[in-house]
Amino acid sequence: MTLKHDALRQISYIQQALSQSKKPIGFFIGAGCPLAVRVNQRNEDGKEVSDPIIPDVAGLTQKISDKLKAAEGTEETAWDKLISLMVEDGVSSPNIEDILTQVRALRSVAGNGTVRGFVAKDLEDLDESICKIISDEVDKSLPNELSPYHNLAIWARTIDRELPVHVFTTNYDLLIEQAFEESSAPYFDGFIGARKAFFDLGAVENEHCLPARWTRLWKIHGSINWILDQQNNVVRSDKLDEGNKYLIYPSHLKYDQSRKMPYLAMLDRLKDFLFKSSSVLFISGYSFSDDHINDVICRSLENNPTCMTYAFLYGNIGDEKYEKARKCALRTPNLSLFAFDGAIIGRNQANWSYNDDIRTSIPDGILIPESSDNPTTEDKICKIQLGDFYQFSRLLKNLSGEVGDDEK
pLDDT at 403: 45
Residues 126-156 have pLDDT tens digits of 999 999 999 999 999 999 999 999 999 999 9
Is the pLDDT at 405 greater than 60, yes or no? no
pTM for this entry: 0.92
Structural domains of the chain, count: 2
Q: Are 142 and 175 in contact (CB under 8 A)?
A: yes
Same domain flag for 177 and 301? yes
Same domain flag for 204 and 352? yes
Q: Are 157 and 213 in contact (CB under 8 A)?
A: yes
Query: How sure is the predictor about 231, in pLDDT bands with cuts at 50, 70 and 90?
Result: confident
Same domain flag for 183 and 332? yes
Query: How sure is the predictor about 181, in pLDDT bands with cuts at 50, 70 and 90?
Result: very high
Same domain flag for 154 and 240? yes
Same domain flag for 317 and 296? yes
Same domain flag for 111 and 243? no
Residues 18-76 have pLDDT tens digits of 998 899 999 999 999 999 999 876 666 667 678 899 999 999 999 999 999 998 889 99
What is the C-alpha to C-alpha distance for residues 278 and 388, in angstroms, rounded to an integer?
Answer: 26
Last residue of a domain, one of 113, 138, 163: 138
pLDDT at 100: 92
Same domain flag for 101 and 169? no
Same domain flag for 92 and 231? no
**Is 49 domain-assigned?**
no
Question: In angstroms, how far is CA 223 from the centroid of its own chain?
Answer: 12
Residues 326-376 have pLDDT tens digits of 999 999 999 999 999 999 999 999 999 988 766 678 999 999 998 765 555
What is the C-alpha to C-alpha distance for residues 103 and 96, in angstroms, rounded to an integer?
Answer: 10
Report the CATH number at residue 32. 3.40.50.1220
Give the 3-state secondary structure of residue 321. helix
**Is 45 domain-assigned?**
no
Query: How sure is the predictor about 400, in pLDDT bands with cuts at 50, 70 and 90?
Result: confident
Q: How crowded is the C-beta side of 247, counted as CA atoms within 13 Å?
A: 28
Write the DSSP string, 216-260.
Answer: EEEETTEEEEEEE-TTS-EEE-S---TT-EEEE---SSTT-HHHH
Residue range(s) defining the domain that contains residue 108? 55-138
Residues 285-300 have pLDDT tens digits of 999 999 999 999 999 9
